[in-house]
Structure 1
Amino acid sequence: MASYVGTIAISGPQKIELIFRINQKMWEMTRSFFYEAAAVQVRRDDLLRSYALSFNVSEGVLHR
C-alpha cells in the first residue's frame, strides 16, 4: 500500500513543524478531518491566533 508524508507547519513567534507518514487508507479516512481541525483551531484557539497554520500532505508515493 502506498505511503504519504504529511507536514503540519505552524509559523509564528516560534516555528513548529511536525512531519509524519501515513498509509493511503489512513489518509483517505482522515484527510477531511485534518483540514477541518486545522481551520477550526486557527479560528478559535486564542493561543494560536498569532500563528499561521498550514497542513500539507504530498500525493506522491514514498518508500513502502
Structure 2
Amino acid sequence: MRALLWTVGVIAVILVLLGLLLEAVRWLVIIGIIALAAVIVLGFVRGRRSAQNYPSRR
C-alpha cells in the first residue's frame, strides 16, 4: 500500500511539473513571437529612414 501511495505521489508531482513546464513554454513562444514582430517592424522603420536620408542617384 505504501509503494502504491509513493507511486501515485511521484506521478502526480511529475504531471504538475510537466503542466508548469508546458505553460512556461507556451508563454515563451508568445513572447518570442512578439519580440520577432517588434524586430521586423523596427528594421523596416529604420530601413525606410535611412533610405529617405540617402536618396538614390538616377
Q: Would you say same fold, with TM above 0.5? A: no
In the superposition, the TM-score normalised over structure 1's length comes to 0.29
Higher strand share: 1
In the superposition, the TM-score normalised over structure 2's length comes to 0.31
Higher helix share: 2
